[in-house]
């Protein structure tokens, strides 16, 4: 167990043909993976840089255009889109993480039927963004949506969440949190379960309260996982297209998400192409 791969590395050191083959073997094994990823992500991104600084007419790429393609990003509507995206990402992050954390801490205790409940909670992860968007559109429908009915009968508010800007934002955040907290929950739960139980036993002997246990043991031990989950979620939310695209479509209020407007019907096809490229360029970095 001293070293996993050392014996083989030693074999690959000599200059003979056999050793040369052994030396390139790992690269050959990695070749399919590198090939796929290079041709589908790395090369197109390089291409994107090129297109982003040139004028375009459909797929014809014209002259050097400097930063001209980027101008709309710094306009009022660009700023509005960016603000909408940031609100969406921040609110979704906070809600998803706190919900997942609360549930993970609760589910860590050996409850009966925990397996079944965990399975049920995982179900939204299986549901596509398209179905999630359609489902929440129906749930929040002003005429027959049960959630709108519920709010109306309990609080007496008449709401039509998908017909104004704030409502659409709330709807997007709700649907998004519903869709993504199971995944965060599984990762955080796994981290909590890998904490050695001796730590809790020691704390209990010293008379620590449950809150102290959580604050001084659980939280520091899973801080790294939380950071990783937060990064993954933020990446995902910032690049989310399908959910806001469908949830806010269908003749209702068109919420201007960052990408949403790149896809929207207002622009001519040419504009769609290069706005998208510019935006994409900016978003990758």
Q: 95-134: which residues touch other proteins (CB under 8 A)? A: 99, 102-103, 106-107, 109, 111, 114, 117-131, 134
Q: How far is CA 53 from the centre of its chain?
A: 28
Write down the least CB distance from residue 76 to other proteins, Å.
22
> Tokens 């992860």 map to which residue?
125
Write down the least CB distance from residue 218 to other proteins, Å.
15
Stretch of residues binding other proteins (CB under 8 A), selected from 2-10, 73-81, 154-162, 212-220: 2-10
Of 2, 5, 76, 154, the residue at the interface with other proteins (CB under 8 A) is 5
- Residue span 139-178 as binding mask against other proteins, x where in contact by CB under 8 A, dash where not: x-x-xx-x-------------------------------x
Cβ proximity to other proteins, 9 vs 83, nearer residue: 9
Q: Please give the residues from 220 up to 239 whose contact with other proteins meets the rule CB under 8 A.
A: 225, 228, 235, 238-239
Cβ proximity to other proteins, 143 vs 197, nearer residue: 143
Cβ proximity to other proteins, 170 vs 280, nearer residue: 280
Write down the least CB distance from residue 247 to other proteins, Å.
11
Q: Please give the residues from 47 up to 66 whose contact with other proteins meets the rule CB under 8 A.
A: 47-48, 51, 59
Integer CA distances (angstroms), 138 to 165, 177, 256, in order: 18, 17, 20
Per CB under 8 A, 265 contacts other proteins: no
Nearest to 71 by CA among 285, 284, 271: 271
Write down the least CB distance from residue 234 to other proteins, Å.
11
Q: What is the DSSP letter of 214?
A: I
Nearest to 216 by CA among 199, 241, 237: 199
Pair type for strands 54-57 and 60-64: antiparallel
Cβ proximity to other proteins, 10 vs 17, nearer residue: 10
Q: What tokens appear for 35 in the block?
A: 């090939």
Of 13, 17, 40, 154, the residue at the interface with other proteins (CB under 8 A) is 40
Of 34, 71, 212, 223, the residue at the interface with other proteins (CB under 8 A) is 34
Number of H helices, E strands in the chain: 14, 2
How many whole angstroms separate alpha carbon 176 and alpha carbon 257?
14
Residues written for the chain: 285
What's the burial of 96, exposed, middle or buried (CB within 10 Å: 0-12/13-18/19+)?
Answer: buried
Integer CA distances (angstroms), 118 to 60, 81, 115, in order: 52, 37, 5
Helices 165-193 and 76-108 meet at what angle, rounded to 10? 40
CA dihedral over 36, 38, 44, 45, signed as positive or negative: positive
Q: Please give the residues from 184 up to 213 whose contact with other proteins meets the rule CB under 8 A.
A: 186-187, 189-191, 193-194, 210
Write down the least CB distance from residue 5 to other proteins, Å.
4
Write down the least CB distance from residue 79 to other proteins, Å.
20
């Amino acid at each position: 167990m001293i070293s996993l791969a050392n014996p083989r590395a030693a074999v690959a050191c000599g200059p003979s043909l056999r050793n040369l083959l052994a030396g390139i073997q790992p690269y050959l094994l990695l070749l399919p993976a590198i090939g796929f990823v290079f041709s589908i992500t790395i090369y197109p991104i390089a291409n994107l840089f090129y297109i982003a600084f040139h004028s375009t007419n459909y797929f014809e790429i014209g002259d050097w255009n400097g930063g001209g393609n980027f101008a709309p990003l710094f306009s009022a509507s660009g700023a509005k889109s960016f603000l909408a995206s940031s609100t969406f990402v921040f609110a979704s992050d906070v809600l998803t993480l706190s919900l997942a954390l609360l549930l993970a801490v609760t589910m860590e205790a050996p409850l009966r039927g925990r397996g079944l409940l965990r399975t049920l909670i995982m179900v939204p992860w299986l549901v596509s963004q398209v179905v999630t968007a359609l489902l929440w559109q129906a749930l929040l429908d002003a005429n027959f949506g049960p959630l709108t009915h519920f709010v109306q009968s309990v609080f007496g508010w008449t709401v039509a969440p998908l017909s104004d800007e704030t409502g659409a934002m709330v709807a997007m955040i709700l649907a998004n949190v519903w869709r993504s907290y199971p995944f965060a929950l599984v990762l955080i739960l796994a981290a909590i379960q890998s904490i050695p139980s001796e730590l809790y036993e020691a704390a209990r002997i010293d008379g620590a309260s449950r809150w102290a246990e959580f604050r001084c043991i659980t939280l520091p031990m899973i801080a790294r996982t939380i950071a990783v989950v937060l990064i993954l979620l933020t990446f995902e939310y910032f690049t989310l297209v399908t959910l806001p695209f469908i949830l806010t479509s269908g003749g209702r209020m068109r919420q201007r998400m960052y990408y949403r407007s790149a896809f929207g019907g207002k622009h001519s096809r040419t504009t769609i192409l290069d706005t998208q490229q510019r935006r994409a360029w900016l978003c990758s970095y």
